[in-house]
Amino acid sequence: MLPSLVTFAAAAAAATFPPNLNSNSHPPNKANSHQPRARKIAITSFHSPNQIFPLLRQCESRAHFAQIHAAVLKTGLDRDPLLLFKILRRCAALESFEYAAQIFARIDDPDVYHYTALIGANLDAGANADAIRLFSGMVGGSVEPDPVVISYALKACVLELDLGVGKQVHGQVIKLEFESARPVRMKLMELYGKCGELGDARLVFGGIPERDAVAATILISCYADRGLIGEAREVFDQTVGKDTVCWMAMIDGCVRNGRKSESLELFRAMQRENVRPNEFTAVCVLSGCSQIGALELGRWVHSYLAKYKIKLNAFVGSALIDMYARCGSLEEAQEVFDEMRERDVVSYNSLIAGLAMHGRSKEAVELYEKMIEQGLRPTHVTFIGVLNACSHGGHVDVGFEIFESMENVYGIEPRIEHYGCIVDLLGRVGRLSEAYEFIEKMRIKPDHVIWGSLLGACKVHGDLNLGEKVAKILFDSEEADSGTYILLSNVYASFGKWSEAVRVREKMKEKGIRKEPGCSSIEVENEIHEFLLGDIRHPRRDEIYRKLEGLYDALRKEGYAPAKDVVLQDIDEEEKEQALAIHSERLAICYGLISTKPRSTIRIMKNLRVCSDCHSMIKLTSKVTGRKIVVRDRSRFHHFEGGSCSCRDYW
């Protein structure tokens, strides 16, 4: 318990230092003698609050504050309303919230300023519900609120998503005619927007005479939170004098809602408008580049950071590492990491995950060990990255050793993602029964992703019995997504069980679940080009298909024969070959061949796993064209060069 105020007064009367307000503090000793000592206050020198105000402004420690307060109590100045307000504010600034509550409890007739100070202290402490209760008590005690305390109360309602109390506060706003107060309007708009009442938020926005960038930013963020990017963009486009924060809200909304290309277009427009991005905008754009593989734009953002001398701190550096790694340039990711002077666990996590994605499993584990040697404590994200590395490299023993160290050494309880890594690791090396037993012994309920991982392994290793067992579990599951249903159907088809495959597809249709179409993209001259299966939308489609035909002629001379067994449809052989020929990644590669310089690297991003026939075809393509081809699929990166792949056909 914190010492009572009476104790402080008694301490002051005895001319001793009052104890530190931190309940966990101890008297100074040799171990903590380096801590600054509080200055002793000459309590008899205080005659008016004006003498104390400068001391409060300069006060930076709880011990010093305690002395000042004890002196105030001793000299009888504790009844001055303004001084009490200043004391409460300083108490909050020093994070002595319980002490502030004690002071408030001793005020005989607290006014709106005292309530404002304590409500603000609760907000600073994250005690939002307590702030709401204090406001209700203030109104119930017939203390009339002002616009400042009302904006505090609305902020607490926003943070608690308490629409009911927020509407009551709005009633107070109308009753007291505070609608014109700008801070109140801003918080009302945020309240309705965050609580999903976007119509009411728009009404409040429409009633603001000066609908500037600040008001627009609030509404844009609220729309984006609900996935309403069209509405957010409408507000954004109509806003005059957009500042950096407004641009960032719109760009971030696009990134979070899968509108990556639009986010990058916005960033370019921001440059044309001569609005200078800050490090937060840059990181947001880098996230968009990472997701769609826009390497050239990511490089441009990197050069922008250097040009305007935006510091390469851990925050920015980690985003750059992630961008380069996800866009297929692991070498540049490593260069950024080596250049960074400040490295935190997030920086290491970014590079470990990047190494894992590119199949550099051994290096990822070594970097993890180096991070531990540097004294950094791994997080659950660290373990996802390093366990993925073990999975891609087939390092079973190392993987289990790291997995067991999570809880035994670092006290981190494994999450579903960590269990999934181990199942994937066992499945890849063909230890399917062991993977099944591992799932059954998990301390948390396995989800459809984990069962789907094992099912995929059953398909790869031809274990029909276990595959059907897992298939039944998935078929009865109500959590399966489109990927799960497609995988289940493909497993049945791979074993020639066409009726079962059809049954799964029919159930998928009944549930209204649509298959995610395969899509591949390539960046050429800072523009992202996307291709679907058999796509004929591209303006250069005739050139692309002519190149594809010529490429097949060259591949057949090298011995390429389509692996028709990967087409899991009950159609004839010729149709299977045609279906394979027009896979999206092949169209993207052919566009890269006709639109980029000879010998330059072609980088393709695909949203689904590369099939085995495309994998074989791209290996030979790299040989006959003399091109390095980098493909990122759902699982990892494949670096094709000279007829071979970095994954060594293990993916």
- Three-class secondary structure assignment of 273-306: CCCCCCHHHHHHHHHHHHHHCCHHHHHHHHHHHH
User: Which pLDDT score is estimated for 49?
Assistant: 65
The predicted model gives 98-118 an average pLDDT of 80
Tell me the pLDDT tens digit for each residue of 539-549.
999 999 999 99
The answer for residues whose C-beta is within 8 angstroms of residue 314's C-beta and 6 or more apart is 340, 342, 343, 344, 346, 347
CA within 13 Å, CB half, 154? 26
500 and 603 share a domain?
no
Split into its structural domains, the chain has a count of: 2
Tell me the pLDDT tens digit for each residue of 512-529.
877 778 899 998 987 889
pLDDT at 183 over 80: yes
Residue 608 inside a domain? The answer is yes
Residue 502 inside a domain? The answer is yes
User: Which pLDDT score is estimated for 329?
Assistant: 92
The predicted model gives 91-103 an average pLDDT of 69
CA within 13 Å, CB half, 89? 12
**Residues 150, 178 contacting (CB under 8 angstroms):** yes
User: Which pLDDT score is estimated for 41?
Assistant: 46
Which of 466, 493, 510 is the last residue before a domain boundary? 510
- Per-residue pLDDT band at 462 (split at 50, 70, 90): confident
The Cα–Cα gap between 128 and 188 comes to 16
pLDDT at 311 over 60: yes
504 and 560 share a domain?
no
548 and 622 share a domain?
yes
Beta strand 629-632 pairing with 637-641: antiparallel
**Which of 467, 388, 395, 461 shows the shortest CA–CA distance to 430?**
461
**Residues 615, 305 contacting (CB under 8 angstroms):** no
User: Which pLDDT score is estimated for 23?
Assistant: 37
The predicted model gives 110-130 an average pLDDT of 85
Tell me the pLDDT tens digit for each residue of 548-577.
999 999 999 988 887 655 555 544 556 656
**Which of 268, 271, 266 shows the shortest CA–CA distance to 250?**
266
pLDDT at 60 over 70: no
- Statement: the pTM of the whole predicted model exceeds 0.85: no
Any alpha helices (H) in 176-292, and if so which ranges? 182-194, 198-206, 213-225, 229-238, 244-256, 260-272, 279-292
User: Which pLDDT score is estimated for 496?
Assistant: 78
pLDDT, the chain, mean:
83
446 and 526 share a domain?
no
Residue 268 inside a domain? The answer is no
Partners of 629 in the β-ladder = 602, 640
625 and 579 share a domain?
yes
User: Which pLDDT score is estimated for 400?
Assistant: 96
Residue 610 inside a domain? The answer is yes
573 and 488 share a domain?
no
- Per-residue pLDDT band at 210 (split at 50, 70, 90): low
User: Which pLDDT score is estimated for 476?
Assistant: 80
pLDDT at 17 over 50: no
User: Which pLDDT score is estimated for 160?
Assistant: 92
Which of 445, 478, 510 is the last residue before a domain boundary? 510
Amino acid at 318: S
**Cα separation values, 449 from 173, 417, 456, 483, Å:** 50, 9, 10, 9
- Per-residue pLDDT band at 77 (split at 50, 70, 90): low
| Top-confidence residue, 222 or 259 | 222
The Cα–Cα gap between 626 and 649 comes to 20
User: Which pLDDT score is estimated for 306?
Assistant: 85
> 540 is written with which tokens?
């250069």
**Cα separation values, 154 from 136, 148, 358, Å:** 12, 10, 48
pLDDT at 609 over 80: yes
528 and 484 share a domain?
no
The Cα–Cα gap between 445 and 101 comes to 44
462 and 531 share a domain?
no
Query: Which runs of E-coded beta strand occur in 452-596?
Result: 519-524, 527-532
- In CATH, what number is assigned to the domain containing residue 464? 1.25.40
Residue 194 inside a domain? The answer is no
Q: Locate tokens 């040799």: which residue?
A: 30
Residue 359 inside a domain? The answer is no
> 178 is written with which tokens?
């505070």
551 and 498 share a domain?
no
The answer for residues whose C-beta is within 8 angstroms of residue 340's C-beta and 6 or more apart is 312, 314, 317, 347
542 and 603 share a domain?
yes
Query: By residue range, what is the domain housing residue 552?
Result: 519-645
Amino acid at 386: V
Which of 493, 510, 527 is the last residue before a domain boundary? 510
pLDDT at 471 over 70: yes
**Residues 166, 191 contacting (CB under 8 angstroms):** yes
Tell me the pLDDT tens digit for each residue of 31-40.
333 444 444 4
Residue 585 inside a domain? The answer is yes
pLDDT at 588 over 80: yes
CA within 13 Å, CB half, 31? 3
Q: Where is average pLDDT lowest: 107-121, 295-309, 486-500?
A: 486-500
User: Which pLDDT score is estimated for 73?
Assistant: 72
Any alpha helices (H) in 111-162, and if so which ranges? 112-124, 128-140, 147-160
**Cα separation values, 534 from 246, 537, 541, 594, 629, Å:** 40, 9, 10, 18, 21
Residue 488 inside a domain? The answer is yes
**Cα separation values, 636 from 251, 361, 566, 590, Å:** 27, 12, 20, 21
**Which of 622, 605, 616 shows the shortest CA–CA distance to 565?**
616
505 and 525 share a domain?
no
554 and 604 share a domain?
yes
The predicted model gives 75-79 an average pLDDT of 67
User: Which pLDDT score is estimated for 637?
Assistant: 92
